[in-house]
Amino acid sequence: MKRFLSILLTAATVLTLSACGSSSSSTASSDTAASETDTTKDTNDTVVIGTMNLVNADLIAQYEEYYENELGLPVKLVTFDSGKDVNTALAAGSVDISELGSSPSALGLSSGTDFKVFWIGDILGAAESLVVKNDSGINSVQDLVGKKIATPFASTSHYSLLNAIKSEGINENDVTLLDLQPADIYAAWQRGDIDGAYIWYPVLDQLLEDGKVITHSGELAEKDIITGDLNVVRTEFAEKHPDVVVNYVKAQIKGNNLLLNDSETAAAEIASVLEISEEDAASQITQYEYLTAEEQIDFIENKLPSVLKNTADFLVEQDSIKSALSLDEFKDKVTTEYIEEAIK
């Protein structure tokens, strides 16, 4: 996959947020996740890590038990279904470190949630796609006019879908957009209630059984409509336990190295965590972009603030949030200090 180095990636507003979803079919519900995180935060000696089981170094860290063995504190791992749930948990202080899509990251920060972005899990390619039914009569984005297309609103998929429509000169009001969560999208697809959806795995794979891809996030990235999955940490936790964050980054670097240099082993480990076939895992790996630690430092310092700013400004236009942080404010919300320490 072409390497993209120019990446696009209180509480009441945060409750409206949604994000990239899990690649696993066995994620915990948001209620379960909330109850688990609430109970773990009774102690100051446990680090609560949020995962969305996205196909990146996090899954390898889970398989290798890097978190349990190397972070330096007892670990509680909680699986979230969406960035909405992650943002809610971050705002409540019930999760310390987590994966979070680029769109909900921009939304959460602009909504006042106090966290910092310190690692880029992946850049989205074909792992998020616009899929339509084979018999829908849709063969291009232009054909979406008059059709019903579902996506989780305020997610990276929503952001990509809106930009795909906009880039073709289509008025979004000419397309019926439905705000549905992944499981509801699959149900609506089966009932014939929708013509298509912009979505991620595992629902993406289910829709492709009788559907086809019109465009995907990798193609949109070539038009500078780029999204990704980030890793964030609550500022308060990072200030108290910087060593834990550094060790977390070291775990991501190990996982990234496996993805970049031994994709066969990486696929086997990811397949084990997600309980999917190694063939499916290998295919999904090719649909993401992974950056080395050195590439991440350059991007986070020079690109990420404007990426988040552009994302937030776009979502202000969609009335997802009332206002966006300034560019300087976003600069204060990203950091390379933990990567720099991890690679010393």
Q: What is the pTM of this model?
A: 0.82
pLDDT at 40: 39
Q: Is the pLDDT of residue 165 over 60?
A: yes
Q: Is the pLDDT of residue 133 over 60?
A: yes
Helix, strand, or coil (residue 151)? strand
C-alpha to C-alpha distance for 266 and 282, rounded to whole angstroms: 8
pLDDT at 225: 85
pLDDT at 20: 52
Least reliable range by pLDDT among 93-97, 250-254, 289-293, 299-303? 299-303
**Average pLDDT rounded to a whole number, residues 129-150:** 97
C-alpha to C-alpha distance for 147 and 208, rounded to whole angstroms: 18
pLDDT at 44: 58
% residues pLDDT > 90 (the chain): 76
Strand order across the 196-200 sheet: 176-179, 148-151, 196-200, 128-133, 211-216
Return the higher-pLDDT residue of 317 and 187.
Answer: 187
- 3-state DSSP helix/strand/coil percent for the chain, to nearest 5? 50, 15, 35
% residues pLDDT > 70 (the chain): 87
C-alpha to C-alpha distance for 61 and 320, rounded to whole angstroms: 33
Asked if 182 and 152 touch (Cβ cutoff 8 Å), the reply is: yes
For residue 247, the one-letter residue type is N
Predicted confidence (pLDDT) per residue in 31-59, tens digit: 334 334 443 344 458 999 999 999 999 99
Predicted confidence (pLDDT) per residue in 193-232, tens digit: 999 999 998 899 999 999 999 999 999 988 888 889 999 9
Across the chain, what does the average pLDDT equal?
Answer: 88
C-alpha angle 113-317-171 in degrees, rounded to nearest 5: 145
Helices in the chain by DSSP H: which ranges?
11-14, 30-40, 57-64, 66-70, 83-92, 102-110, 156-167, 182-191, 203-207, 217-221, 235-240, 242-261, 263-274, 278-285, 293-302, 304-317, 327-331, 337-342
